[in-house]
Amino acid sequence: MQQSINSQVTPTQPLSAQPLPTMTTEAAAAPVLRGDYSHMDADYVTDQDWGAYTAAEHDLWRQLYARQVAVTKRYAAPAFLTGLQRLRMPADQVPRFDEASEKLHALTSWVIVPVPGLIPEDAFFLHLAKRRFPVTVWLRRPDEIDYLVEPDVFHDFFGHVPLLTQPIFADYLQEYGRKGQEAIALGTTKLLTRLFWYMVEFGLIRGAAGIKAYGAGMLSSATETAYSVDSDQPHRIKFDLARVMRTDYRIDTFQQSYFVIDDFAELFTAMQQPFAPIYANVQGLPLIPATEVIESDQVLQVGRQHAA
């Protein structure tokens, strides 16, 4: 995320509400960060050092994978499930990034780059613009199987990489990276970040089988996937770019509003327009709390919000 990581990460933060894999440059040097930042290049790329994962870590991956595959079979968007198959993601060990990159590159010309953990937003945007997805190399501890402070390899790989096998989503994310560099120049990264939060980490999509989850935040969570699709608590609102940019969110609980697309082309098309006029308009409007719906919303379900 674009705010200081210290303001975002708390020891009780649930996995489903973890921060995005970005941070401020200032925070990069903060001792709070997990991960080894001593062996990386100027782009924050390090080695995966796959041989260093322990048998216990591979076993923890197996547990996480088995649990989430069961959840995603029921609740995930077909595109995500297809992506899992295309990647042939290993069920019983931490994936080798070089092997996955080879498969991914053949499909959409994206590759995975290993990073020590959270990286600064400018480096993150630049990687995306060059079709490189940063994936954290370390895996959570066994006591963090349900809750995690920072994104780990399971969140980044299991949650994000499958959709990168989908050409139009892959193109959308590259364009997001390009827009990120523009947003830094314009001072509007907060607005753009809400698009990542709601439409990459916590996005829903509706199709023939009804509403399904495709966001990495919920799909790497043991419990938010079902909540996002089935619960009567959150609002489910039709995607609107400017509306999303105006919407506040919480990182310490399940989302109170989810935005729903009909297909990934909708996201890509929205991303193709010039953002400067949209930023100028949105900056003059009040922030919308995640608990609220507004008159212009196409609300698919009004949430009961009891859990908020």
Taking the least distance from each CB to Fe ion, the nearer of 95 and 303 is: 95
Smallest separation, CB 20 to Fe ion (Å): 5
Taking the least distance from each CB to Fe ion, the nearer of 4 and 301 is: 4
Q: Which stretch binds Fe ion (CB under 5 A): 78-86, 99-107, 169-177, 208-216?
A: 208-216
**Helix, strand or coil for residue 293?**
coil
CA distance 219 to 212: 10
The string of DSSP codes covering 245-273 is: HTB---SSSS-SEEEEES-HHHHHHHHHS
At residue 18, what is the residue type? Q
At residue 254, what is the residue type? F
Smallest separation, CB 51 to Fe ion (Å): 26
Smallest separation, CB 163 to Fe ion (Å): 11
Phi, psi (degrees; rounded to nearest 5) at 296: -80, -5
Smallest separation, CB 233 to Fe ion (Å): 22
CA distance 222 to 183: 33
Taking the least distance from each CB to Fe ion, the nearer of 150 and 279 is: 150
User: Do 89 and 61 form a contact (C-beta atoms < 8 A)?
Assistant: no
Q: Using the rule CB under 5 A, is 87 a contact of Fe ion?
A: no
Number of residues that bind Fe ion (CB under 5 A): 1
Smallest separation, CB 220 to Fe ion (Å): 8
Taking the least distance from each CB to Fe ion, the nearer of 216 and 244 is: 216
Q: Which stretch binds Fe ion (CB under 5 A): 37-45, 114-122, 216-224, 273-281?
A: 216-224
Q: Using the rule CB under 5 A, is 115 a contact of Fe ion?
A: no
Taking the least distance from each CB to Fe ion, the nearer of 5 and 216 is: 216
Among residues 216, 261, 271, 290, the one that binds Fe ion under rule CB under 5 A = 216
User: Do 178 and 129 form a contact (C-beta atoms < 8 A)?
Assistant: yes
Strand residues in the chain grouped as ranges (E): 22-23, 111-115, 119-120, 132-136, 204-207, 210-213, 235-238, 257-261, 299-301
Taking the least distance from each CB to Fe ion, the nearer of 196 and 239 is: 196
Smallest separation, CB 12 to Fe ion (Å): 19
Smallest separation, CB 221 to Fe ion (Å): 11
Taking the least distance from each CB to Fe ion, the nearer of 17 and 60 is: 17
For the purposes of burial, counting CB atoms within 10 Å of the CB of 92, is it exposed (0-12), middle (13-18) or buried (19 or more)? Answer: exposed
Share of the chain residues as helix, strand and coil, in percent rounded to the nearest 5: 45, 15, 40
Which residue is closest to Fe ion by CB?
216
Q: Which stretch binds Fe ion (CB under 5 A): 80-88, 96-104, 115-123, 213-221?
A: 213-221
Please report, as ranges, the residues that interact with Fe ion according to CB under 5 A.
Answer: 216
